[in-house]
Structure 1
């Protein structure tokens, strides 16, 4: 687990008064400013953000203290916005912060090691875990109760039902040959 959690990224300027468009990764996009000051990835810059309105989906229009014109807003494009983990409430039962899932070992329910979770994506139909295999390939797993019946943060692993493994069994070297078992 990390000390900071990514809550959003500035994707562009909005208007001429320094407002920005922010793609949020919060449960409620309009709550982005409720977690206190945000910071850049290095913790060098602090942003006091006020959400003005919801745009489309998980994008909000916001103002940032000290950013008063379009040029300053455009200069922030691509800036990732983090908050100290301590500012977030504990995740509810059965819920997880994306940051906690990244780095977990993906293992089938039969004990075969698939690889490591390297990202969580949502293309509109639900969350997907991206797993990088030891062979360097990436495969996707739907992050549902059926496909991932267990997440064990203490053991740093997720269990995956083999039927939901979205890798290519014909070209995925990690799926050929003998199953590799997890000991312990």
Structure 2
């Protein structure tokens, strides 16, 4: 895949979700950040952040940031007290797709794989298994979560290890599909 994963995006949207503001940190406006980039500090290489609030999407700049324990904390420009910081809790952080680094051939951001049809070619039989609803990071390898749809073999949810060359045989973004070698009964 790539060393820099990302979260969700909506088809046609120019924004890619890269994390969340989870909770306040202290009384001076700092917030805790959950990053979906790898390494997690890469979230701070994007500017501006687009926060998806209940009042709409708004751009913000990060004034300062630092690691804290196993996570990250940040101070958003213009947010200088705990009450203002509280308003940003549980808000998704997105960035413009054009800010993301170009990848090498054969590397993909997670948002590029979400929504692709999954076709298995198992023991000479071709079947549609569904679409990639999301990806999971397991430590050993990433996993495609494939949900059955109206055009699939059945409505089962399948977890397919994202291992190119072994289970994932090809990815065609233009055709909107991933070909896998996976037993449809599993």
Output the TM-score relative to the length of structure 2.
Answer: 0.78
For residue 86 of structure 1, give the secondary structure of its aligned residue in structure 2: helix
Question: Separation in 2 of the partners of 1:142 and 1:27?
Answer: 19
Extract unaligned runs of 5+ from structure 2.
1-10
* Equivalences for residues 2-81 of structure 1 within 5 A: 2-41=13-52, 44-50=57-63, 52-55=65-68, 59-81=71-93
State the shift of 1:8 in Å. Answer: 1.0
Confirm or deny: 8 A CA contact 1:33 1:50 kept in the other structure.
no
1:117 aligns with 2:166: no
For residue 107 of structure 2, give the secondary structure of its aligned residue in structure 1: coil
Question: Separation in 2 of the partners of 1:81 and 1:38?
Answer: 6
State the shift of 1:31 in Å. Answer: 2.2
Cα 1:133–1:46 shift into 2, 3 Å: same
Q: What does residue 6 of structure 2 align with?
A: none
Q: What does residue 148 of structure 1 align with?
A: 168
Q: Which has the higher helix share?
A: 1
Question: Separation in 1 of the partners of 2:136 and 2:48?
Answer: 25
Match of 1:126 among 141, 149, 152: 141
- Range with bigger deviation, 48-57 or 69-78: 48-57
RMSD (CA atoms)? 2.2
What is the count of residue pairs matched by the alignment?
165
Question: Separation in 2 of the partners of 1:56 and 1:123?
Answer: 21
Cα 1:56–1:102 shift into 2, 3 Å: farther
Q: Which has the higher strand share?
A: 2
Question: Separation in 2 of the partners of 1:72 and 1:64?
Answer: 10
Q: What does residue 162 of structure 1 align with?
A: 182
Extract unaligned runs of 5+ from structure 1.
170-174, 176-184
